[in-house]
Amino acid sequence: MSTPGTLVGVGVGPGDPDLLTLAAAKAIAEADVVAFHSARHGRSVARGIVAKHLRPDHIEVHLVYPVTTETSEHPGGYAGAMADFYDEATERLAEHLAAGQTVALLAEGDPFVHSSHQHLHSRLAGRFPTRVIPGISSITAAGASLGRPLVEATETLAVLPGTLPEEELAARLGEADTAVVMKLGRTFGRVRDALVRAGRWEEAWYVERASTPDERVLPASEVDPEQVPYFSLLVVPSRVGDPASKRDPSPAATTADDSAAKETGTEETGAEETGTEGAPAEPTMGEVTVVGLGPAGPLWLTPEAKAALSAATDLVGYTTYVRRVPLRPGQVAHDSDNKVESERAEFALDLARRGHRVAVVSSGDPGVFAMASAVLEVACEPEYAHVPVRVLPGVTAAHAAASRVGAPLGHDYATISLSDRLKPFEVVRQRVRATAQADLAIALYNPASKERTWQVGVVRDDLLAIRDPQTPVIVARAVGAPDERVSVTTLGELDPGVVDMRTLLIIGSSQTLIAQRGADAADSVVYTPRRYPDLATDPSTDAQADAPTDTQADAPTDAQADAPIEQTAGAGPTQ
């Protein structure tokens, strides 16, 4: 038997023959067989790039796709037709490899970036020796065509296929600093809609046939969707590398008080547009998005929230929470004190009226003792009724704390703030007692602050008059932060002295259990069964117990609770 040949994946670059690497040219020169793909029209872009390097004695293997964008009559549809094609192509190349011939399999761009080479490589790598010659990808070629950096400093680069669902595309585009969307053609409309949803459409550039004589580079907004070939891509380039950002690479954060001049229009916010008669043009309406940051850190932030933060021109919120959001070039932060919720909301709405895309940030979920109520209250006033406002949910502090020990909120539960800043403390006590008598688990927000140090003890005593002293209690401080501390105790042993403004308490119901799952005490969990004992024997309740499986959405009981109003179980004060 002859020594088997080697399969060499050769990246031939984006289109310009001069961008073929020396290693690629050498690999082609040493190959016995040169294989390449094309559609049924027979014109191979990859072969055209390397044409001057082909010899008369090269054996050429032309692999013709059975389908490209059209439909297929194959029983397995497009996927079935392509799977059969790759299987057949694999055996064609295997015959040459088994005969000891070296096969150079050409791939436009790089062989391991959205390339047909990958399908054949995976089928042959276990049978024959393989190696890969990397090529200049269309991604980097597009950056060169734009004359713009793709990523700088700590920026991230997302390479996305346009075939992704629109919602997923929007989420990924929103959280990436720089994005390149490949596989356009018929997907252009969906990609455009995703960029609009992510607030990135105005930044996007279109690059067609990069590095070739037919190259086209233009703003994405100027593209005719009906004239987009497969060999094109969209680039949302580096914001750090944007020449416009170099004028002010590190915009200083300002407070709401410092921005009073902006509110009254006495401070310039940029070049003023004028109408045809020389009078100032009406500003384009912006929007206000109230964003939940989760309890702490980027891992708790939803893709939807990331997209909104990325799309915002301005960030507004309590100082502690604004500082949790890394500013991108061009963004301006307006942070303020923790007791000016209405003023903060009005300021954000005024910015939106002047065309700004404003993200009002809250820790946790913005609808739970946070900024959503404050913004909507002001937004319902006549002068702001036309300003678009939306609310994006976040992971709540209660749910974050509960997850650390198991599922203490697994059955019906109530959410109560112990703050008496916006309601009498006697109302707080009445609500706690009523909830305890209803035998609900209770998530207690804002249990203490620098000014309020005695309420936890009063509420504990109220609960002990109704609940068993052995009722499980979760004391969760700074959940998600580096100094997180979560402990499980009982109502009778709860020490109010360990509770501060970064703490959230969960009081179990009569059914909440502390269960040991192993020999180690660390293996214990806390959970509240979903079935209640008085109803367990009634067959009609089974459906209620099994569906729905999700807890109800957060419903705040107060517009604002305590300082600061936004929720947090991590950095900063508690909800």
CATH number of the domain at 175, please: 3.30.950.10
Which amino acid is residue 88, in one-letter code?
A: E
**Least trusted range by pLDDT, from 6-20, 53-67, 301-315, 351-365:** 301-315
Q: What are phi and psi of 10, to 5 degrees?
A: -115, 110
The SS3 assignment for 444 reads strand
**pLDDT of res. 517:** 82
Residues 23 and 131 in one domain: yes
> At residue 244, does pLDDT exceed 90?
no
Asked if residue 554 is part of any domain, the answer here is no
Residues 22 and 108 in one domain: yes
* The dihedral formed by the CA atoms of 546, 301, 478 and 331, expressed in degrees to the nearest 10: -150
Residues 219 and 344 in one domain: no
> At residue 281, does pLDDT exceed 80?
no
Domain final position from 392, 426, 453: 392
Asked if residue 197 is part of any domain, the answer here is yes
> At residue 47, does pLDDT exceed 90?
yes
Within 8 A by CB and 6+ apart from 497, the residues are none
Asked if 312 and 330 count as a contact pair (C-beta separation under 8 A), the reply is no
Residues 422 and 351 in one domain: no
Asked if residue 272 is part of any domain, the answer here is no
Asked if residue 196 is part of any domain, the answer here is yes
Asked if residue 477 is part of any domain, the answer here is yes
Give the E-state strand segments of 176-242 in sequence order: 178-182, 205-208, 216-219, 232-236
CATH assignment of the domain containing 65: 3.40.1010.10
Residues 339 and 373 in one domain: yes
Residues 427 and 373 in one domain: no
Give the mean pLDDT of the chain.
85
Residues 407 and 517 in one domain: yes
* C-alpha triplet 538, 544, 550: angle, nearest 5°: 150
pLDDT 10s digits, 109-139:
999 999 999 999 999 999 999 999 999 999 9
In the chain, the N- to C-terminal Cα span, in Å, equals 75
- Number of domains within the chain: 4
**Least trusted range by pLDDT, from 235-249, 375-389, 524-538:** 235-249
**pLDDT of res. 329:** 78
Task: Kindly give the residue spans of alpha helices, DSSP state H, lying in 313-379.
Answer: 319-322, 341-353, 371-379
Residues 115 and 101 in one domain: yes
Residues 183 and 234 in one domain: yes
**Least trusted range by pLDDT, from 387-396, 522-531, 566-575:** 566-575
563 against 61, higher pLDDT: 61
Residue 496 domain boundaries: 397-536
Mean pLDDT across the stretch 9-23?
Answer: 97
Mean pLDDT across the stretch 14-19?
Answer: 96
Confidence of residue 560 (pLDDT cuts 50, 70, 90): very low
Within 8 A by CB and 6+ apart from 250, the residues are none
C-alpha 238/C-alpha 219 separation (Å) is 15
**pLDDT of res. 200:** 87
Residues 377 and 484 in one domain: no
> At residue 356, does pLDDT exceed 80?
yes
Give the E-state strand segments of 209-277 in sequence order: 216-219, 232-236, 254-255
Pairing of β 503-507 and β 314-318:
unpaired
Residue 472 is inside which H or E element, if any? strand 472-477
**pLDDT of res. 243:** 58
**pLDDT of res. 266:** 28
Asked if 193 and 165 count as a contact pair (C-beta separation under 8 A), the reply is no
Asked if 54 and 12 count as a contact pair (C-beta separation under 8 A), the reply is no
Confidence of residue 254 (pLDDT cuts 50, 70, 90): very low
Asked if residue 489 is part of any domain, the answer here is yes
> At residue 299, does pLDDT exceed 80?
yes
Residue 391 is inside which H or E element, if any? strand 389-392
Residues 186 and 116 in one domain: no
**pLDDT of res. 394:** 94
**pLDDT of res. 136:** 97
**pLDDT of res. 253:** 42
Domain final position from 76, 105, 136: 136
Mean pLDDT across the stretch 209-222?
Answer: 95
Domain final position from 136, 171, 199: 136
**pLDDT of res. 51:** 97
C-alpha 321/C-alpha 316 separation (Å) is 9
Asked if residue 273 is part of any domain, the answer here is no
Put simply, whether the predicted model's pTM sits higher than 0.75 gets the answer: no
Mean pLDDT across the stretch 135-162?
Answer: 92
339 against 575, higher pLDDT: 339
> At residue 265, does pLDDT exceed 70?
no
Confidence of residue 238 (pLDDT cuts 50, 70, 90): confident
Separation in Å, CA 353 to CA 283, 383, 473: 8, 10, 47
C-alpha 531/C-alpha 59 separation (Å) is 72
Residues 132 and 143 in one domain: no
Asked if 416 and 432 count as a contact pair (C-beta separation under 8 A), the reply is yes
- β-partners of residue 206 are 218, 234
Confidence of residue 344 (pLDDT cuts 50, 70, 90): very high
Mean pLDDT across the stretch 451-458?
Answer: 89
Mean pLDDT across the stretch 236-260?
Answer: 51
Does residue 156 come out as left (phi exceeding 0), alpha (psi in the -120 to 50 range) or beta?
beta
Mean pLDDT across the stretch 208-232?
Answer: 94
Asked if residue 367 is part of any domain, the answer here is yes
